[in-house]
Structure formats: C-alpha cells, structure tokens
C-alpha cells in the first residue's frame, strides 16, 4: 500500500520526465528562499515517448541517467509525476462523516464518479465544505490510475533512483505557481493516507497529494479562477484552481509538436528551423503567417476546453476563467499567450517559477534562466513538494 509520508526534508530533487525533455532539479530548502543546487535537462528523441506512452524504455532510462550524471545529483530520493490524463479531479457531495470514515467510504462513492475499476485506482480527497446542508459535505476527489503510478516508480527505480514521491504533474505545476502567487511555501502539507484496497507493496512512495486550501491566503486574488496551462511537447494540461483548490484538470492532445509541424509545412522549413520558430526565433520568416498558424492551432486548445468550461458553468462550479498562466515549452510559441488571453478576454502571464528561487545562473549553461523558467514549472513544483523552509 502506498505510504503517504509527511517527512520534512531539507532537499528534494524533482525529476520531470516530459515527452520531449527530461529535467532534473534539486532544491535545498533550509534557506529563506529555496536554492537550486543541481540542474540538468536533456531532449528525448520524439520516438522515445509517444502520446504519453513510453516506447523506448531503455532510452528514457539512459537519458535520466545521463541527466543525473551531468547534474551530478547526490544519491537521494526524488519526486516525480504522472501526467494529468491518468488523473481525475472532481467535486462530489456525500454524507457527512469523520475524515477517517470518509477514507473508507470514498471508495464506494468513487465508483459512481470515476470511469475506472475501483481496484485499479489510488484515491485521495480533501474536504472542501464540511456542511452543505441535508447532512452532506462537499469533497474534492482525486483519482489516479495505480498502474501509471507504479509504472513511473518502477522506471525511476530502474534508472537507479528512489522514487519517494509520485505526484500528479498538474498539482506540481500548481505548487510552483503558488510559490510565487501566495508567497506561502508548502512547508506543512498535511499528511494524507491512501486506503487503496489492493496491497501494492510500495510502502515508501508518497502518492499524489492535492494542494490544500489552507496553504494559500484566502485573499481576493485567490478567489479568482486561474487556468494554469502547461503547453508541453505533446499535450496541453489545463489545471484550473481557485483559492488553492483544484477545480478541474484536463489534458488536451495539442502540444508544441503540432505547432512545429504546421510551421514546417506552411513556411516550408526544416523541422529544426520550425522548432526554432516555436522557441520565438522569428528571423527570416513571415511573422504574420507564424501568428496566423499559432492562432489556428491555438484555437484547438480553446475548442478542446470549451465543453468542460460549459459543464463547469452549468454545474455552477465556475463562471469562467479569470486569469491565465502559461507554462511549458509552448510558453515561447510566438503570440500564443496573447491569443489565449484575447480569446478568453482575461489577463495572461508566462509562468516564472525561477523568480521564487535562488540560483547561480551558470547552472543553466548557455540557456538564459528567463527562457528556461516556464519549462521548469513541473520540475520545480516537484522539488518543492515537501519540506520547504523546514
């Protein structure tokens, strides 16, 4: 069974196994501000992970090991994450009971809400309101497929590391964002215990853990619906939060690769040059056409999200999005942030988790910290997972 530990650590390494880029970043947390002590990122060839499935396991393991060696990581446990599509976040209402009893009852409740076999998932929850009338309480339910969590843990073990935490990528993104937005570091994240019926034999792995609403000041800014949009290599994860509570999370099958493909086709470029366009290098290309392509492909993100937003509105869960924070490699796609901000008619910003950390810029080699920052949101959120300021 998963043991959801709550040890405070003075350091933690985040290991973000993205479909395009593997990142490792270690934070030391015994300073006033967390300090990055080790860092490396390496590209994965496109055939290594396709549609979230690991196709070439040996290559992924080798790249993790190369990254760790280049970063000179110490022999310490790491925090990693599974992607959003293995995860369901849902608000539910159930009979009022103690948290302890709810931990048992949640499996029965979840059967009605989760389209997976209950024996195949790990569950967690957070009580949002302990009394909503009629002897009922409101919970946020988080369900993740166990085989994804166990598979990720095994991959990391095979690469020679101890997977202390397997989180959910979108929650790690949220962690990163909250570091800056609330100035409230996640030092005292309460322990949650998984009561998964099946014994998995993995008693030293922390499971996914939703951010706790108490951790964030309930000021006006936190009452906004903030859409954290991580535009990665292959997918865009949209994670909507309000006051530190995740409202909704969804993966859309559109990532930087889809934009790059269109640049290549419509501008007649090599894949390498098209990639450079996606990273904001617009020399010698028709900029108006690039913007048109970004808007057209970007509209797929908008369209993909629309049914869920309509549902949230109808269900009275959210009126809409108040603010957009874009992260991942796609944050550099020329005009994407402005397009999304325009179409939702809300302010948009680029995630900058490095702004909350101390580091020696030489750690990043020739890459500028400003450029790398949005790509590191998940990795930093993982490394922040516990023990900050302890």
The backbone torsions φ and ψ at residue 374, rounded to the nearest 5 degrees and listed phi first, read -65, -25
DSSP secondary structure letters along 219-248 = -GGGGSEEEEEEE-SS-EEEEEEETTEEEE
256 binds ligand ATP (CB under 6 A): yes
68 binds ligand ATP (CB under 6 A): no
Which residues have CB under 8 Å from 7's CB, separation 6+?
A: 386, 387
> Which segment (31-39, 173-181, 273-281, 285-293) binds ligand ATP by CB under 6 A?
273-281
Q: Tell me whether residue 233 or residue 387 sits nearer to ligand ATP (CB atom).
A: 233
335 binds Mg ion (CB under 5 A): no
Neighbours of 278 (CB within 10 A): 26
14, 34, 163, 232: residue in contact with Mg ion (rule CB under 5 A): 232
Q: What is the sign, positive or negative, of the torsion defined by CA atoms of 267, 290, 21, 23? A: positive
328 binds ligand ATP (CB under 6 A): yes
Count the helix, strand and coil residues of the chain and give each as a percent rounded to the nearest 5.
40, 25, 35
Which of Mg ion, ligand ATP, none has residue 68 at its interface (CB below 5 to 8 Å by kind)? none
9, 12, 18, 123: residue in contact with Mg ion (rule CB under 5 A): 18
Length of the chain as a residue count: 390
Pair 41, 18: CB distance under 8 Å? no
329 binds ligand ATP (CB under 6 A): yes
Minimum separation from the CB atom of position 144 to ligand ATP (A): 16
Minimum separation from the CB atom of position 200 to ligand ATP (A): 25
233 binds ligand ATP (CB under 6 A): yes
Q: Which of 111, 129, 133 is nearest to 120 (CA)?
A: 111
Q: Which of 184, 318, 165 is nearest to 240 (CA)?
A: 318
Taking the C-alpha atoms of residue 2 and residue 194, their distance in angstroms, rounded to an integer, is 6
- Of residues 68-107, which lie at the interface with Mg ion (CB under 5 A)? none
- Of residues 4-43, which lie at the interface with ligand ATP (CB under 6 A)? 18-21
Taking the C-alpha atoms of residue 354 and residue 357, their distance in angstroms, rounded to an integer, is 5
Minimum separation from the CB atom of position 251 to Mg ion (A): 11
Minimum separation from the CB atom of position 49 to ligand ATP (A): 7
Q: Tell me whether residue 94 or residue 252 sits nearer to ligand ATP (CB atom).
A: 252
Which residues of the chain form contacts with Mg ion (CB under 5 A)? Answer: 18, 232
Which residues of the chain form contacts with ligand ATP (CB under 6 A)? Answer: 18-21, 232-235, 255-257, 275, 278-279, 328-329, 332, 367, 371, 375
């Amino acid at each position: 069974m998963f043991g959801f530990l709550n040890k405070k650590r003075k350091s933690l390494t985040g290991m973000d196994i993205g479909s395009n880029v593997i990142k490792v970043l270690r934070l030391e947390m015994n300073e006033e501000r967390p300090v990055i002590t080790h860092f490396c990122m390496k590209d994965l060839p496109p055939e290594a992970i396709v549609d979230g499935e690991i196709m070439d396991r040996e290559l992924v393991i080798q790249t993790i090991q190369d990254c760790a060696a280049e970063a000179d990581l110490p022999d310490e446990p790491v925090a990693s994450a599974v992607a959003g599509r293995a995860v369901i976040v849902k608000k539910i209402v159930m009979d009022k009971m103690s948290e302890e009893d709810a931990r048992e009852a949640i499996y029965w409740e979840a059967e009605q809400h989760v389209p997976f076999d209950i024996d195949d998932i790990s569950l967690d929850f957070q009580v949002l309101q302990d009394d909503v009338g009629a002897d009922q309480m409101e919970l946020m339910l988080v369900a993740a497929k166990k085989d994804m969590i166990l598979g990720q843990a095994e991959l990391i073990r095979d690469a020679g590391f101890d997977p202390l935490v397997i989180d959910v990528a979108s929650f790690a993104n949220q962690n990163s964002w909250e570091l800056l937005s609330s100035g409230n570091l996640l030092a005292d994240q309460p322990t949650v215990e998984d009561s998964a019926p099946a014994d998995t034999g993995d008693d030293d792995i922390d499971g996914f853990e939703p951010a706790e609403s108490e951790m964030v000041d309930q000021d006006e800014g936190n009452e906004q619906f903030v859409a954290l949009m991580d535009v990665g290599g292959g997918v865009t994860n949209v994670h909507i939060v309000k006051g530190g509570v995740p409202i909704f999370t969804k993966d859309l099958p559109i990532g930087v690769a889809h934009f790059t493909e269109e640049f290549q086709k419509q501008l007649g470029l090599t894949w390498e040059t098209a990639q450079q366009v996606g990273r904001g290098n617009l020399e010698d290309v028709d900029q108006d056409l690039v913007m048109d392509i970004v808007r057209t492909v970007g509209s797929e993100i908008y369209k993909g999200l629309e049914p869920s937003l309509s549902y949230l509105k109808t269900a009275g869960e959210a009126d809409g999005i108040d603010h957009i924070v874009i992260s991942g490699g796609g944050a550099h796609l020329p005009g994407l942030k402005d397009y999304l901000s325009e179409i939702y008619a809300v302010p948009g910003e680029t995630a900058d988790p490095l702004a909350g950390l101390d580091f020696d810029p030489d750690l990043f080699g020739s890459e500028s910290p400003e450029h790398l920052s949005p790509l590191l949101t998940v990795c930093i959120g993982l490394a922040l997972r516990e023990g900050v300021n302890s």
